[in-house]
């Protein structure tokens, strides 16, 4: 998925806003996942899984790269 990384409502929560869906980013190198950066994230989604962030579709991050 490609989108812009955003800070979540809860501290420490990061989301990927794609324009159609917001994904809650779980795991991954936080130094690469800075708010306002456009990124391409590869991973596995877990719709409906409970999280402490309580927003977005949970996405376990496997790969991160800058968006073209």
Residue 62's pLDDT is 97
Find all residues with CB under 8 Å of 20, minimum gap 6, and list them: none
Residue tagged 């324009």 (tokens): 19
pLDDT-derived band of residue 68, with 50, 70 and 90 as boundaries?
A: confident
Find all residues with CB under 8 Å of 39, minimum gap 6, and list them: 2, 3, 4, 5, 16, 32, 33, 64, 65, 66, 67
Count the neighbouring beta carbons within 10 Å of the beta carbon of residue 10.
12
**pLDDT, tens digit, 9 for 90 and up, residues 3-62:** 999 999 999 999 999 999 999 999 999 999 999 999 999 999 999 999 999 999 999 999
Could you give the CA distance from residue 68 to residue 60 in angstroms, rounded to a whole number? 22
Specify the higher pLDDT residue, 9 or 68.
Answer: 9
Whether 63 shows a pLDDT value over 90: the answer reads yes
Residue 33 · residue 4 · CB < 8 Å: no
């Amino acid at each position: 998925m490609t989108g812009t990384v955003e800070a979540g409502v809860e501290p420490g929560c990061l989301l990927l806003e794609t324009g159609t869906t917001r994904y809650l980013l779980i795991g991954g190198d936080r130094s690469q996942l800075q708010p306002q950066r456009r990124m391409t994230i590869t991973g596995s989604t877990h719709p409906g899984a409970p999280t402490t962030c309580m927003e977005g579709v949970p996405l376990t991050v496997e790969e991160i790269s800058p968006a073209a």
